[in-house]
Structure 1
Amino acid sequence: MKKLAIIFWFYSACGLVAQDKIDLVFNETTHEFGSIDASERAVAVFSFVNVSANPVYIYHIEETYGCSIIYYSHRPVLVGATGTITVQYNHIGNYGEFAKSIYVKVSNGTDNRTLEFKLTGNILPPATNNKDKFVYRQDGLAFREKGVDMGAIIKGFVANKYFEVYNYSSKPIRLDFADVPNFMDIAVEGTHTIEPYKTAKIKVKYNSGKAKYLGKLTSNILLKINKKNEIKFPIKANIKEDFSSVSVADFQNKSEIRVTPDYINLGRIETGKQYKTKLKIENRGASPLKIHNIIVPVYTTYSKLKNNTLNSGQSVILELTIETDKINILNEKRYISIISNDFINPILDVYLQGWSTSSIFINKKY
């Protein structure tokens, strides 16, 4: 099952020739803000390259929630040129997790189509006192969340995010950091010593260009308290490939990922048993297919691919091992994500399915 497609190609219902179809390559169609403070601005920029045979233009945009300011390219976007759609989400008075959609109507003068774009994130509510604001507490320090979500970052870009730490103890606490990856800088603004009942602001600088992989990544850094106790603190990000320089020629000679089977049905599951299965990854396109990353659930392991770059017509086998005793009913991830340079499916998900007579797994998909 294909989770994300960021190329839209359309044919008119009237049997038009190939020159009348609309081909647009977007950097993303879903923008993840991650966690943001109620005082922060939430702005997403969707950029696209017109790889059609004709100019296209945006003639209408509508939203489902009425809380945004939207700017877009009003002039026709020529063949090979780039257009943008900028969305500023007004979240004042709205807190918690959100998922919003906007619908963009495009035309090439002959064919008209509607595209959907999504905004997701979590707005942290304001608080009148530190007890309500910093709800996660450990070893004298308190946090608003159990980690930091940087949201979506286009490969090569640098993202900055701040989070606050509160010292709820009666003694000063020195805060240091360990196990910080080379693509990330994390530092306390000001002194590393946090006085009793005071807060400190921490800056996270995330250089996605230095990150080895694409996709949803979690880096568990260590917060060292008084150089003794340690708190594991996850920092998450979703790094996406930059398609902004795609040309018409690139599109015409694109790579194309094909995975078989497109879902895995384990059938009846016996708890504690190990299951092995295989996926075939094939390049059906003209250009080399580069497999950037493979993300699996915690109960699944996979063998290293013999080749991460597949020329046209080549394939490789991905061997998977599923440990059923590690499956957690609270774990929402029920699919394997294969991240590649395919314009159409940069993130391709293969879903796992099965059932068990156990009360834990009955009628559950995983």
Structure 2
Amino acid sequence: MTLTQRSVTDARSSGVIDDQDEQEPELAAESRVASHTGHWQLRWQRTVRALDSLYAQARNSVSEQIRALFQRRVAAVPQLLFIGDSLTERGLQVAAENDPNAIGWGIRLVQEYNGVADCIFRGLSGYNTRWALPLIRRFLADLPVEHLLLVGVWFGANDAASVGAAQYVPLDEYASNLYEIMKLILERSHDGAQMPVCLDRRHRADEPMPAVSTTSADSTETTPKRYPYILLMTPPWVDESARMRAASTGRAAPTPTSQDTGSTTANIRLEPDRQNVRTSKYAQACHRVAAQIRPRESVLLLDLYERIQGLPPNERSTLYNDGLHLSARGQEFVFQAIRQLLAEEAPALTPSSLGQYAIPWRDINPSRPREQLAIYE
């Protein structure tokens, strides 16, 4: 036995060293192993918690993005506003008394945009542009600007009444009033750069007018699109013969010719209260005013005078019930003309491009409807 072993034995026999003292190095090693294992377990637990947190944040972020996207769509249901005279007012007619088969062009547009946009109509029967201006200011002020994508303007049928009639407005004033109406609309324009619009339209002005502009420089192909668009509709071609027949039944008021005014009753020759020789000039004025708007792409011009005049005579006569107001075929003609123009020159405003403003019911998960529909709350 060595000296060291003898010393340990003597110490153990004397009680200086016991068995527990010998076990301490082993316990310390085990403790170090346990501590090391616990350290990695703790790190793993923290990592799992961090990953869970990141996943929850990512999920919430995506949910919030989806929620915000649909909330913007729901909060900003697109609106199409149509302002005009009785031709606009009667656009909402269904089964008119003298034409039970008539369905107004406005009703057809409402059906076309059902679930996509709100179509709003402000038809002012008998109004001309002079009388309509104050009301148009009010109409535009009452609507949220950011919701408005299109404003249809259809005046001129009454402005072009016989000279001296209550509704008559001189041609120059008519053009000035149209210009003012379009200016009011464009002053409320808003950025529509997020909506893809493909337009390339230009008209040449015959008579220069001050340009209405919503930008500091002339529009170019790279200029962001602005909304609302203006759908400017010319007064339509007049069926003068039908207008005279309507006068004989009291549905229209004929006008004495200027050379016969003051003559005896037997010599008085009557003329229709609406004539194409005048109406055509008011239609041309729409072209001149539209040509001066900047950006030019903001104006969609629908020349109903030219379109109807170009039809065969037997077809033209079927579009009216009194030579001025539209029959069932006339209502359908105007609806299709608007629809075609938007498809060709403003495709971003078509129902298929705008899309539904609510989640289609087929896309709702029956097992989790509340989670999907919470975006509307």
Say which structure is richer in helix: 2
Q: Is the radius of gyration larger for structure 1 or structure 2?
A: 2
Pick the TM interval, shorter chain: under 0.3
Report which structure shows greater RCO (CA 8 Å, sep ≥6): 2
Say which structure is richer in strand: 1
- The two structures have a TM-score, normalised by structure 1, of 0.22
